[in-house]
Amino acid sequence: MNRPHGAPGGRAVRRGLVPVLLCVLGACAPAAGDAGDDGGDVRPFQTVLDGQAAAVREGDRAGYLAALDPHADRYRAEQRRVYANLRRLPLGEWGYRVADVRRDGDEATVRARLRHRLAGYDRAATTETERLRFVRRDGDWRLAGEASGSTTQLWEQGTVTVVRGEHSLVLGVGRKRSALRALAGAADRAVPAVAGTWPRGWTRRTVLQAPSSTEAMGRLLRSPASSYAGIAAVTTGEAQDGAGQGDAPADRIVVNPRAFAALSEQGRQVVLTHETTHVATRRQTTGATPMWLSEGIADWAGYRTAKLTPRRAAPELARAVDDLDAGRGGSSPLRALPTEEDFRFDNDPTRLARAYEGGWLACRMVAEEWGADALVALYDRAGREDGGESAGLDAALRSVLGVGREQFTDRWRAYVTAQLGRGPSRG
């Protein structure tokens, strides 16, 4: 996601996704006699959802609508639009698995896992949880709507416009096609820029979602819209749990129309290059990867070609250095490298900005003093280290750079002071 107050940086969020099911499309239906978590028979509901999923894949509009309650007029109208939207997407997989059923007479609430993948863009499928309402009509169960707690997808928010770029796929709702083409152009420039330093282990393609408003963005991300008011974009994705060797669920770059439009052309390019870096590094990003490193390397990639001095790119940290030089009190943000807590969305904007700026300058220092290859190697090694953030980072730093955590922090502190001080510019 981008810095508070619209500064031209990019930011991403590690957003947990429902674990990917280890089943293949067409083999996800429960075996005969299977029951939901509460003991309810899931087979009638699985049959309905299997039929509707097949209709999506085969382009059978009548079959898709046949799964719906004939009396649910509003829901049927919405689903006609959803079906049209889905047919515009390059779907490689689309299927459901019923997890549990809660029945009350002729009504039921079904929790199902929707597994989907975009062909040519997603290395692995993504699984989302849907909560669906069913009613029984003339002895048959039919879909009647969504229940509270169901995941909101972009294709449920309005008519989807699809724009294909050279390296990108842009899905927009309520957006002009010209704006989506411009977004695809910026995304297409970001992919080779990132691939120049991170050439392996990713598809070199990105999928962007452009909702109609900040409120719609909040619904997609299942968070209050206020959380994203000043954020130009975020990348959704799941950090790997182990050594980062498997395929993570698909990333999506979600663009906030209001905040993104407020940026300069250079700022927009920085944001999308930053977010694309998160897509490229997803397989190497694990729970052991420090946030300052994952956000810092994304900013480093974003700012590499931007003509900005360090003081302009890191204004909040520059103010802190000025305060220290002037002998003004307060807790110094240079006492330690930014922590996980410093990157919380609900932090004071100044604290959050300083965390991102500190991470960026740490990665910039590594690239300048040890080389860009060393920065990439550090990222890869840090994600594979055990022993907690402090011990794992220390081991990674010693292995790749030949310095321990404390010595690295001292060098970072000196580097930040030299880059952001008001003496002769070194940026």
Residue pLDDT, tens place only, 111-136: 999 999 999 999 889 999 999 999 99
- Indicate if 318 and 277 belong to the same structural domain: no
Q: Which of 233, 251, 286 is the last residue of a domain?
A: 286
Mean pLDDT calculated for residue range 139-168: 95
Mean pLDDT calculated for residue range 14-25: 26
Res. 330 pLDDT band, cuts 50 70 90: low
Whole-model pTM?
0.85
- Indicate if 281 and 294 belong to the same structural domain: no
On whether residue 21 sits in a domain, the answer given is: no
CATH code assigned at 253? 3.40.30
On whether residue 31 sits in a domain, the answer given is: no
Work out the angle between the directed axes of helices 388-400 and 405-420 (0-180°, nearest 10).
80
CA–CA separation, 248 vs 335, rounded Å? 35
On whether residue 98 sits in a domain, the answer given is: yes
Comparing C-alpha atoms, which of 243, 370, 352, 339 is closest to residue 11? Answer: 352
pLDDT at 328: 74
Q: Which two tokens stand for residue 391?
A: 């011990």
Strand blocks (E) in 193-317? 206-210, 233-236, 252-255
Res. 216 pLDDT band, cuts 50 70 90: very high
Comparing C-alpha atoms, which of 296, 277, 295, 308 is closest to residue 364? Answer: 296
Cα of 77 vs its chain's centroid, Å: 30
- Indicate if 416 and 299 belong to the same structural domain: yes
Mean pLDDT calculated for residue range 251-259: 94
- Indicate if 345 and 211 belong to the same structural domain: no
| HSE-CB for 178 with a 13 A CA cutoff | 0
Do residues 374 and 275 touch, judged by C-beta distance below 8 A? no
- Indicate if 64 and 123 belong to the same structural domain: yes
Residue pLDDT, tens place only, 45-54: 999 999 999 9
- Indicate if 270 and 402 belong to the same structural domain: no
Res. 238 pLDDT band, cuts 50 70 90: low
- Indicate if 1 and 91 belong to the same structural domain: no
Res. 249 pLDDT band, cuts 50 70 90: low
CA–CA separation, 229 vs 313, rounded Å? 21
DSSP-derived 3-state class of residue 306: coil
- Indicate if 198 and 227 belong to the same structural domain: yes
**Number of independent structural domains in the chain:** 3
- Indicate if 6 and 120 belong to the same structural domain: no
On whether residue 75 sits in a domain, the answer given is: yes
On whether residue 426 sits in a domain, the answer given is: yes
Mean pLDDT estimate for the chain: 86
- Containing domain of residue 108, as a range? 43-151
pLDDT at residue 206 is higher than 80: yes
Residue listed under structure tokens 């796929």: 169
Comparing C-alpha atoms, which of 259, 209, 266, 194 is closest to residue 229? Answer: 259
On whether residue 35 sits in a domain, the answer given is: no
Res. 241 pLDDT band, cuts 50 70 90: low
On whether residue 37 sits in a domain, the answer given is: no
CA angle 257, 120, 304 (to 5 degrees): 55
DSSP-derived 3-state class of residue 359: helix
Query: Hey, CA dihedral for 398, 403, 406, 409, is it positive or negative?
Result: negative
Q: Which of 286, 316, 342 is the last residue of a domain?
A: 286
pLDDT at residue 30 is higher than 50: no
Residues 6+ apart with CB under 8 A from 255: 183, 208, 209, 210, 211, 217, 232, 233
Mean pLDDT calculated for residue range 279-307: 93
CATH code assigned at 83? 3.10.450.50
* DSSP element (H, E) containing 184: helix 177-195
pLDDT at residue 417 is higher than 90: yes
How far apart, in Å, are the Cα atoms of 35 and each of 45, 106, 261, 269? 11, 18, 49, 50
Q: Which of 101, 128, 151 is the last residue of a domain?
A: 151
- Indicate if 111 and 204 belong to the same structural domain: no
Res. 5 pLDDT band, cuts 50 70 90: very low
- Indicate if 302 and 351 belong to the same structural domain: yes
CA–CA separation, 214 vs 115, rounded Å? 26
- Indicate if 76 and 100 belong to the same structural domain: yes
On whether residue 345 sits in a domain, the answer given is: yes
